[in-house]
Structure 1
Amino acid sequence: MKKQLKGRKRKLAKDKWELIVNLGYNPETKIYERRYRTFFGNDRESDAALRDFIYELENPELIASQEPLKEYLGRWYEDYYLPNHEQTSSKRAERIIKNNINPYIGHIPIGELTTDHVQILYDTLFKEGKIRRRKGEDGKTATIKSPLSPRTIKYVHTILSQSLNHAVNRDKITDNPCKDAIPPKDKEAAPEKWVVLSALELKTFLEDDRCKLHRDYALIHTAAHSGARQSELLGLTKDRILWINSAIRIEQSLHKDDDREDGFEHRPRTKNRRSTRTVKMSAKAMDVLADYIKKQEEADIVSNLVFTEPDGRPIARNNLATRFSNLAAKLGYPEMTFHHLRHTHATLLLADGAYINDVSKRLGHATPAITLNVYAHCLPQGDDVLVQKFDNLLK
């Protein structure tokens, strides 16, 4: 049985650490031996680096560059990727490693991995990287292979490149073999077709009895009047309704997470720094919220979440999407999604002359540039109007 080594770390300066591993007593030298390494990074990263250091010293027969890619990726994912990413991103990265990397090149030592290996991986995935298994009428399982999308292969490239960059930075390999490998280009996707309602159409939509009697009416009405993201509204809590100020405070979001007891993750943060915001609401919108919460209390629904299922459980976005699509179809908009309420809100404001920066803040975009890029076509002033305005200034 191999001797398990123990280590510790000592902070030298901000983001600078000394890693120390005790090798134990050496009877030949008659001293207690230690190994030292300097590491640059934050506290959590230094813990992972110390584990790496101990692993290398416990396995002297396994030269770092001879470690199979599969084993290296497993430790890199657990120690570096998982602690620094959201649950949704981590799950996807885990699937990519398990299904699209390890079965093909996981056995290759990282020191022997070449650009050719990586390029062949991308080419193989592009030809037959999507694997499905189906049972035939004879009861036997057949394996069906089809091309993996360029978009997914690009994500494979991102995960593999990030992990091997880490190996370069830790002196496990000298160069990243992904550097010169080229994933297939994704064909330019057709622009998403939005269903954006006019002010009159939205008013008619919200005042239709089929909408007003719908179980999600208050949620739909709030989305149309706030422009907030679906996950932000599903995560909205009652203590974040600012009744005196006629506003809602967006500070968290709700996401599906099958690993949790209730099946949901309440993230105490939003998509970006500017996404945490206060959104002013109309008196009508606040009245709808007040009426909805009153009905919840009368039905003895106990939940701090504003919008819930009739039994008080959080609303799953897939269920909401289905219910809204069915409602929209009945009202004459079969292609409309819940997210289109956000697009409608922004488009109506911009078309009416609202400042791009004000709309950007209201939507919670990271920068006004994002708002401009998404909604440039909605701005009322085209080149002809601008030319006429400039000409008028000179008259």
Structure 2
Amino acid sequence: MGYIEKRGQNSYRLVVNAGFDTDGSRIRRTKTVKCKNQTEAKIELAKFVTEIEAGEYITPEKMTFAAFIIEWKAKYASKQLEASTYETYKTLLENQILPKFGHKRMDQINTMQILNFLESLSQEGMRSDGKPGTLSSATIQFYHRVLKNIFSRAVDWKVIKENPVANIKKPKVDSKRAKVYTEEQVGMLMSYIANEDPKWKMIITLAISTGMRRGEILAIEWNHVDLEKRKIHIQQSLTYTKEKGYTFKEPKTKNSIRTISLSPIVTEQLRQYKLYKNKQKLRLGDKWKGNERNLLFSTWDGQPMYPSSISSWWRKRLKMYGLPQITFHELRHTSATLLINEGVHMKTISARLGHSKIGITMDLYGHALESADEAAANKFDHLFQQKKQENI
């Protein structure tokens, strides 16, 4: 009933005979797929035949955007995208994209329609959480990214001939300077958390002293910590999604796999925290479920923490402390800014943060570097003033 044609490297065309039309001409259904070898292509052909026989196959020229999204999720997104990225894509699809384009045929969606859609996202009332205000420029850029990805796959799979998003420039993101704490505010924060649960005290201490990302902090295992050499080895990151649950994965770039030095005080705090953690483990006995990974930070019974639980705890505590509201991630920016103000070389800061290039660090913290440079220049006033007084 069907056969396979080799098209190119890892590309196969599936052909299925689907009977005859009213004029007696043979009806053929075709589909181009990416497969590693002939065996995989035969499996795809069997699926294709089943779809046609069951009446589930929709010819590309009649496929709606909503129908294509089902294919895109199954054949690409769920397999190729990171779990957290896939979840974000699905949220944006459900919030705005599917209600707008779901009913339209893929070949009838054009560049102007997408341009108008992206433009409409910057208007009031487009937030899905019901809060006043508009979507951020970063969110609008993400919508562009999702649409470009979807229509790129549609071109690859011969559903449409051209990508209607290809010639739309990526929307600009309004750069906002991250909010950070001053040295004095960090001192106040540390005095407030001194009486908190040891787990939370240690999480905040590491966030400020190392600049680690939230997912990196939650993925640290005790075998990644060398208390004798005062080092933490960052080897993985923790994410959580509804579909896949907890996922331990390598950090986002190869530079994110790094070793961070610890100060003597932080090392001693970690040493005391380890004793506390071991006592907690012994006290729970068989109820302890964290033996597989032996995480520094876990739930009461040793299992991974929800990453969002840190952010929730952090927001509540800031209200309690009366400190300015900054995000937990901005403790990372605070860490970098404090080091800049202490005159630490930008290359060292970039390595501690796990940036792929020093240019990223310069772009993010150029304003802080400029302030530190001005402060350095002002130090000469003291010398000049002293010389002037000697000449009087």
- TM-score w.r.t. length of structure 1: 0.73
Does 2:182 match 1:196? yes
| Residue 146 to residue 223, structure 1, CA distance change in 2 (3 Å) | closer
Separation in 1, partners of 2:204, 2:148: 42
CA contact (8 A) 2:339 2:349 kept: yes
- Greater RCO, 1 or 2 (C-alpha within 8 Å, sep 6+): 2
Does 2:323 match 1:323? no
Structure 2 residue aligned with 1:211: 193
Shifted more, 105-114 versus 285-294: the winner is: 105-114
CA contact (8 A) 2:227 2:271 kept: no
Separation in 1, partners of 2:132, 2:373: 50
The 5 Å alignment of 1:97-116 reads 97-116=93-112
For the residue of structure 2 that corresponds to 1:255, the secondary structure is strand
For the residue of structure 1 that corresponds to 2:183, the secondary structure is coil
Does 2:73 match 1:89? no
Does 2:3 match 1:17? no
One-letter identity of the residue aligned with 1:308: S
| Residue 334 to residue 154, structure 1, CA distance change in 2 (3 Å) | closer
* Long gaps (5+) in structure 2: 20-27, 381-392
Separation in 1, partners of 2:45, 2:91: 24
Separation in 2, partners of 1:41, 1:363: 39
Separation in 2, partners of 1:277, 1:109: 48
Shifted more, 292-301 versus 186-195: the winner is: 186-195
Deviations 1:282-332 (A, max 9, x none): 222122112112112212254211012444343334332343344445555
CA contact (8 A) 1:350 1:356 kept: yes
One-letter identity of the residue aligned with 2:72: W
For the residue of structure 1 that corresponds to 2:352, the secondary structure is helix
| Residue 235 to residue 327, structure 1, CA distance change in 2 (3 Å) | same
User: Following TM superposition, by how much is the alpha carbon of 1:238 offset from its aligned partner in structure 2, in angstroms?
Assistant: 1.2
Query: Going by fraction, where is helix more abundant, 1 or 2?
Result: 2
Structure 1 residue aligned with 2:246: 265
| Residue 340 to residue 196, structure 1, CA distance change in 2 (3 Å) | farther
CA contact (8 A) 1:64 1:172 kept: yes
Separation in 1, partners of 2:147, 2:135: 16
For the residue of structure 2 that corresponds to 1:236, the secondary structure is coil
For the residue of structure 1 that corresponds to 2:260, the secondary structure is strand
Structure 1 residue aligned with 2:67: 71
User: Following TM superposition, by how much is the alpha carbon of 1:75 offset from its aligned partner in structure 2, in angstroms?
Assistant: 0.8
CA RMSD of aligned residues (A): 4.3
Deviations 1:174-200 (A, max 9, x none): 2222345578x67836533322325xx
One-letter identity of the residue aligned with 2:196: H
CA contact (8 A) 2:211 2:332 kept: yes
User: Following TM superposition, by how much is the alpha carbon of 1:47 offset from its aligned partner in structure 2, in angstroms?
Assistant: 7.1
The 5 Å alignment of 1:303-382 reads 303=290, 304-328=294-318, 331=321, 333-379=323-369, 380-382=372-374
- Aligned counterpart in structure 2 of residue 157 of structure 1, from 144, 154, 169: 144
| Residue 238 to residue 192, structure 1, CA distance change in 2 (3 Å) | same
CA contact (8 A) 1:253 1:267 kept: yes
Structure 1 residue aligned with 2:384: none
One-letter identity of the residue aligned with 1:196: T
Q: Percent identity?
A: 21
Separation in 1, partners of 2:237, 2:46: 35
- Aligned counterpart in structure 1 of residue 161 of structure 2, from 165, 171, 174: 174
User: Following TM superposition, by how much is the alpha carbon of 1:17 offset from its aligned partner in structure 2, in angstroms?
Assistant: 1.9
One-letter identity of the residue aligned with 2:264: A
Separation in 2, partners of 1:193, 1:338: 11
Separation in 2, partners of 1:56, 1:150: 44
Total equivalences in the alignment? 354
For the residue of structure 2 that corresponds to 1:376, the secondary structure is helix
User: Following TM superposition, by how much is the alpha carbon of 1:361 offset from its aligned partner in structure 2, in angstroms?
Assistant: 0.6
Separation in 1, partners of 2:179, 2:132: 31
CA contact (8 A) 2:35 2:41 kept: no
Shifted more, 299-308 versus 309-318: the winner is: 309-318
Separation in 2, partners of 1:352, 1:312: 38
* Long gaps (5+) in structure 1: 27-33, 135-143, 389-395
Separation in 2, partners of 1:101, 1:52: 32
Structure 1 residue aligned with 2:387: none
Separation in 2, partners of 1:50, 1:311: 45
For the residue of structure 2 that corresponds to 1:165, the secondary structure is helix
User: Following TM superposition, by how much is the alpha carbon of 1:62 offset from its aligned partner in structure 2, in angstroms?
Assistant: 4.9
| Residue 153 to residue 376, structure 1, CA distance change in 2 (3 Å) | closer
CA contact (8 A) 2:220 2:296 kept: yes
- TM-score w.r.t. length of structure 2: 0.73
| Residue 79 to residue 128, structure 1, CA distance change in 2 (3 Å) | farther
User: Following TM superposition, by how much is the alpha carbon of 1:382 offset from its aligned partner in structure 2, in angstroms?
Assistant: 4.5
User: Following TM superposition, by how much is the alpha carbon of 1:41 offset from its aligned partner in structure 2, in angstroms?
Assistant: 8.1
CA contact (8 A) 1:309 1:315 kept: yes
Structure 2 residue aligned with 1:241: 225
Structure 2 residue aligned with 1:222: 206
| Residue 103 to residue 308, structure 1, CA distance change in 2 (3 Å) | same
One-letter identity of the residue aligned with 1:98: E
One-letter identity of the residue aligned with 1:17: N
User: Following TM superposition, by how much is the alpha carbon of 1:40 offset from its aligned partner in structure 2, in angstroms?
Assistant: 7.0
